[in-house]
Amino acid sequence: MTSEYDEFAWTDVRELFRVWRENNERKSKDVVDLWESTLKSKVDNLGNEKYLVLEQVCIAALDCYRLSLAEQCLKVLMTEFPGSLRVHKYHAMHLEALEMYDEAVEVLDSIIKRDETNAAPRKRRIAIFKARGQITEAIKELTEYLKKFMSDQEAWHELCDLYLQEQDYSKAAFCMEELILHNPHSHLIYQRYAEIKYSQGGYENMELAKSYFCQAIKLNPNNIRALYGLLLVTNHLASSLKSTAPKKKEAIKLSEWVAKRLDSLYKSKGPQEKEDIKVVEDLLSQLQIEA
């Protein structure tokens, strides 16, 4: 099977690896393939760059589950840099890929002991708990992590996901509230918070969901998921016994606006999306409210 890289000289591959490193592009399969076909035999020509390339290949090999290749790279790196915390982290990742979880945790704990400010090994510990299906332990570990690294938005998202797995919607909502404080202009965060409040149910949560879906749409009027969410919420509020007459009227009016907006968005798309339009129209007809 031919590849777009078949005619590359080893110097071209070296330059390509450099570009991918600088741009933080993994390109894992390409890295592995080019290493084995071209660069491996020229590794001694790379000078000190050899170790950067080996690190790159090691990560790519782990991504592709080429564990023997990852081990080869690790042996060279650990011999050259026996005290490197970064290399030890890759060693832990290799053990994790081999499902040697206890050994991986030991390595990670040794890294944390040497550098308590290092976030990466703490995250790997959480990943191991998840891989073992120990969600409660993962939540506990992630909660402790966020006490030290409160500004890590990725970690807040992860904790929210874990709480949702446990169907603990109130704590998942708290995570999204923290994310709104960190990033008040993200329509996706408002949308997700609204979805959680909708899942919690109850009249007050529905009202909150409506407000946050509206905010998501205000930030991005083309957010289809937020529009759908608002449609569902307004239909629910319009039929709720707790809604007053003015509230029901407002919900119906908003529901009609959302339905028109969704219909308009889908009709503005090309012919290839006609099937999508039909799905939307069917859904809207099912959600029709009798005023």
157 is a domain residue: yes
In the chain, the number of structural domains is: 3
Residue 192 sits in the same domain as residue 178: no
What's residue 190's pLDDT?
Answer: 97
pTM for this entry: 0.78
What's residue 270's pLDDT?
Answer: 63
* Whole-number Å distance between alpha carbons of 242 and 100: 55
Residue 197 sits in the same domain as residue 244: yes
* Whole-number Å distance between alpha carbons of 43 and 212: 55
121 is a domain residue: no
Consecutive sets of 10 residues in the chain, 291 residues long: mean pLDDT of each? 62 93 93 92 90 95 95 95 92 94 94 90 92 93 93 95 95 96 95 95 93 96 91 91 87 91 78 60 51 32
What's residue 240's pLDDT?
Answer: 86
**Helix-strand-coil split of the chain, %, nearest 5:** 80, 0, 20
124 is a domain residue: no
CA-wise closest residue to 206 among 237, 160, 244, 183: 237
Q: Could you tell me the residue range of the domain that residue 160 belongs to?
A: 134-184
* Whole-number Å distance between alpha carbons of 256 and 263: 11
